[in-house]
Amino acid sequence: MTVDELQQLAATEQEAKQRYKFCINVCVATGCIMCGSERVKEAVEEAVKAKGLDKEVLVKGVGCLGLCSAGPMIYIEPDGIIYRKVTPEDAPAIVQGLVSTPVERLICPPNLPFFKRQMKIVMENSGIIDPERIEDYIAVGGYQALVKVLTEMSPSEVIEEVTKSGLRGRGGAGYPTGLKWSTVAKANGTRKFVVCNADEGDPGAYMDRTILESDPHRVIEGMIIAAYAVGAQQGYIYVRAEYPLAIKRLRTAIRQAERLNLLGNNILGTTFSFHIELRIGAGAFVCGEETALIASIEGKRGTPRPRPPYPAEYGLWGYPTLINNVETFANIPAIIRNGGEWFAKIGTEKSKGTKVFALAGRVVNTGLIEVPMGITLREIVFDIGGGIPEGKKFKAVQTGGPSGGCIPEQFIDLPVDYESLTKVGSIMGSGGMIVMDETSCMVDVAKFFVEFCMSESCGKCVPCRVGTAHMYELLHRITNGSATMLDLELLEELCDLVKNTSLCGLGQTAPNPVLSTLRYFRHEYEAHILDKTCPAGVCPVRQVEEVPA
Amino acid sequence: MPPALMERPKVAPPSDDKRWRIVEGTMRRHGYQPHALIETLHTVQETFGYIDEDAMKFVAQSLRVPFSQVYGVVTFYHFFTLKPQGEHICVVCLGTACYIKGSPQILDAIERTYGIKPGETTKDGKLSLLAARCLGACGLAPVAVFDGQVVGKLTPEEALKQIRRWEQDDSR
């Protein structure tokens, strides 16, 4: 396929869509499928046919609409009506609603802060295009960034644009993307690789999965542009085995892109060639760490190795390798299309653009949100999230999964960016955001994460393998009421040791949940130890029985 | 990437089970390269439900990887299992959101009723209980998967009811 043919295809697709008066978009991402959206879609299709409207109404399955707690969701174009909690029985009424008045009882108020306060870049096509059709993506301007890059820009210009945008890695650490790209571009190697890290292991985070399920071509386009910029010929997407739907849609997307010659040899008739292969993870959290991920792609146990040398110089099979997160790649097409300066205008001074968060836990509106950097936690929890259900009191927000920390109420007006979150003892992380209320015990939460790190430790270095086990043991003693203040001291010392001496990110950040809860909720630890009570009533603290005389 | 090995000793599958052809297909697609190990093991588990010693030996010889490395990989990754699973599988999510919303109680209820812990199977081979790290359905926490069907906003009573439904269906 040539550039002209691609533009032709986009025009034909847009025309085809305009022939329809209405478009009923049914969410078919994992969350809504669980609530039965596939049956809803079938019922809507039948209802449309029964009314004889198949020439005027297009029914399609689309990606995530965000408000997962109210699934299955339907979005009607061009009216912009959003229906929530739709059942197959509602289908005839919804189709009827197209020509008369919409179904009042199912409507999701359009002025809901949940939708109004968001800003979509990565998720701009989510809920609008069919993720299993490349033509849909092309119709909304997909692969235009690739055309621009291949026809108008040199690799160094691409890197310059990404550097100008100020984009930082969305996997958690926030390393400047432009800098990483130029390091790989400059590195010497007969071959180079581009790897997309889709091993989203943080419990409570599902942004990457949703991006892959809702708009897989966006990530592929970002990868091809990256490959052009750094000079790579081969790419891998390492995705968790726990995400079967994302794997299926990625496979479809890669096949479609190959068919249209957007992947493969001589892409769009140029001299540039790039191939992508899928690699399925096998359930090891540590494989999210880049050197462990490389080992896993090579078919070995996923154990990290000391850095430097960084993968940018010595990666897959010893060749220079660029590893970026799903969301990072998903930002690239928009940056190329609109320019780095446009992107740099969004967000704060040091954190540019938007971030996708998975909002979950004790909050009314759970789901997936995309917000500009610098928004406050209060806006996220109380405006977008709709506050805490059942009139309970807000206690803390946990960000960054097992590597992050708990942010207490006193910092609720903190702007969300890389530096601010690090300052209060948490991290941006990949984007999991769990809200906790007064019914959550912070010691129990810390124990939960330490237990996670303990069982996910790969066992290569001693501080992590043995340290996390002892941390767990101490926390276990605290929660069952058999600990003394000496144990607390020991725990703090151990945290310091594990943090400073572990080999990779997993061990280095494993003490964070303990340290941050100790910093802000020390009284809860002391209540467990001294008063033998759990203030939240979660832990089975047993009263020390008096020895009968 | 290491070059593909041109010559390869023909390794016979452990049995004349036709399913081994699927496994060989995966290895062939990757040119019998050692780095196809994890992909191949995925295929073994998909086709047979678990990975036993014979399967590991076969894969090791075919890909020219030491048996110790194959065993190391199989036991390192949580996704691979060495033992056959029960007839029905219940996976309870223990991700953060589910944990906060009460999945430990669900797990506890199943553990007490059926006398098995996560990773175990009942003696009659009917039910396997597994715990997942995060199923990524946090918006609907707490969730569990009953034979591939994900159920959200679950309670301990509802979970037990789901399992009892299997028992009723089977006894019919």
Residues of chain A with pLDDT > 70, as a percent, come to 99
Chain B residues closer than 8 Å to A432 by CB: 96, 138
Q: Which residue out of B27, B32, B38 would a mutagenesis test of the A interface target, given it has the greatest number of A Cβ atoms within 10 Å?
A: B38
CA dist., res. A389 & res. A435, Å (int): 11
**How confident is the model at residue A421, as a pLDDT?**
94
Second-level CATH architecture of A354-437:
Roll (3.10)
Helices (H), ranges, A242-381: 244-259, 290-297, 326-338, 340-344, 377-378
| pLDDT value of position A333 | 97
> Taking the CB of residue A414, how many other CB atoms lie within 10 A of it?
17
According to the model, what pLDDT value does residue B4 have? 54
Is A141-344 in CATH node 3.40.50.2300? no
How far does the CA of residue A25 sit from the closest CA of chain B (Å)?
20
pLDDT of A547 strictly over 80: no
pLDDT at A546: 46
How far apart are the CA of B40 and the nearest CA of chain A, in angstroms?
A: 10
Chain B: closest CA distance from residue A435 (Å): 9
Please answer yes or no on whether B99 and A448 come within 8 Å at the CB atom.
Answer: yes
**For testing the chain A interface, which of B138, B146, B150 should be mutated: the one with the most A CBs within 10 Å?**
B138
Burial class (CB in 10 A: 0-12, 13-18, 19+), A179: middle
Query: A374 CB contacts (<8 Å, ≥6 apart)?
Result: A347, A348, A351, A415, A416, A417
Average pLDDT over residues B2-13: 67
pLDDT tens digits for range A119-158: 999 999 999 999 999 999 999 999 999 999 999 999 999 9
Q: What angle do CA A130, A112, A330 make, to 5 degrees?
A: 40
Domain ranges across chain A: 17-111, 141-344, 354-437, 442-531
Domain B20-76 fold? Arc Repressor Mutant, subunit A (1.10.10)
Are A185 and A229 spatial neighbours (Cβ–Cβ below 8 Å)?
yes
Say whether A281 and B79 touch across the interface (CB within 8 A).
yes
SS3 A89: helix
Searching chain B, which residue's CA lies closest to the CA of residue A434? B97
CA distance A437 to chain B (A): 9
Q: Using omega within 30 degrees of 0 as the cis cutoff, is the peptide bond preceding A535 cis?
A: no
Average pLDDT along chain A: 94
Please report the pLDDT score of residue A455 as a whole number: 92
Tell me the whole-structure pTM to 2 decimals. Answer: 0.94
pLDDT in tens, B21-75: 999 999 999 999 999 999 999 999 999 999 999 999 999 999 999 999 999 999 9
Burial class (CB in 10 A: 0-12, 13-18, 19+), B8: middle
Give CATH superfamily name and number for A17-111: Glutaredoxin (3.40.30.10)
The predicted pLDDT at position A59 comes to: 95
First-to-last alpha carbon distance for chain A, in angstroms, is 90
Crossing angle for the helix pair A326-338 and A155-165, to the nearest 10 degrees = 100
Q: Where are the alpha helices (DSSP H) in A345-441?
A: 377-378, 418-423
pLDDT reported for residue B133: 84
Q: Is the omega angle on the peptide bond into residue A78 within 30 degrees of 0, that is, cis?
A: yes
Task: Report chain A residues whose CB lies below 8 A from the CB of B72.
Answer: 301
Is the Cβ–Cβ distance between A249 and A134 less than 8 Å? no
User: Residue A457 corresponds to which tokens in the numbers above?
Assistant: 């430790």
Strand pairing category for B127-132 and A394-399: unpaired
**ipTM value for the complex:** 0.89
CATH ID of B88-171, from 3.40.190.10, 3.40.50.300, 3.40.50.1820, 3.40.30.10: 3.40.30.10
Mean pLDDT of A249-267: 96
* Strand order, beta sheet including A321-325: A275-280, A234-239, A193-198, A321-325
Q: Is the CB of residue A384 less than 8 Å from the CB of residue A371?
A: yes
> Which chain A residue lies closest to B75 (C-alpha atoms)?
A301
Q: State residue A255's pLDDT score.
A: 97
Quick one: average pLDDT of A158-186? 95
Q: Report whether pLDDT(B1) > 90.
A: no
The answer to whether B72 contacts A301, with C-beta atoms less than 8 Å apart, is yes
Tell me the C-alpha distance between A440 and A181, whole Å: 42
Whether residue B99 lies within 8 A of chain A, CB to CB, comes out as yes
Q: What is the pLDDT of residue B136?
A: 79
A523 CB-near residues (< 8 Å, 6+ apart) = A535
Domain ranges of chain B: 20-76, 88-171
Q: What are the pLDDT digits (tens) for A75-84?
A: 999 888 999 9
CB contact under 8 A, A434 and B1: no
Alpha-carbon B56 to chain mean position: 15
CATH of domain A442-531: 1.20.1440.230
In this structure, chain A runs to a length of 549
pLDDT at residue number A109: 84
- Residue ranges of E strands in A241-325: 275-280, 321-325
Do residue A31 and residue B2 have CB atoms under 8 angstroms apart?
Answer: no
Position A86 pLDDT exceeds 90: yes
Binding-face residues of B in 58-87 toward A, CB within 8 A:
65, 69, 72-73, 76-80
Each residue's pLDDT tens digit, A164-176: 999 999 988 899 9
| Buried/exposed code over A210-224 (b: 16+ C-beta within 10 A; e: otherwise) | bbbbbbbbbbbbbbb
Three-class secondary structure assignment of A517-538: HHHHCHHHHHHHHHHCCCCCCC
| Tokens 């600990």 belong to residue | A483
| DSSP character at residue A383 | I
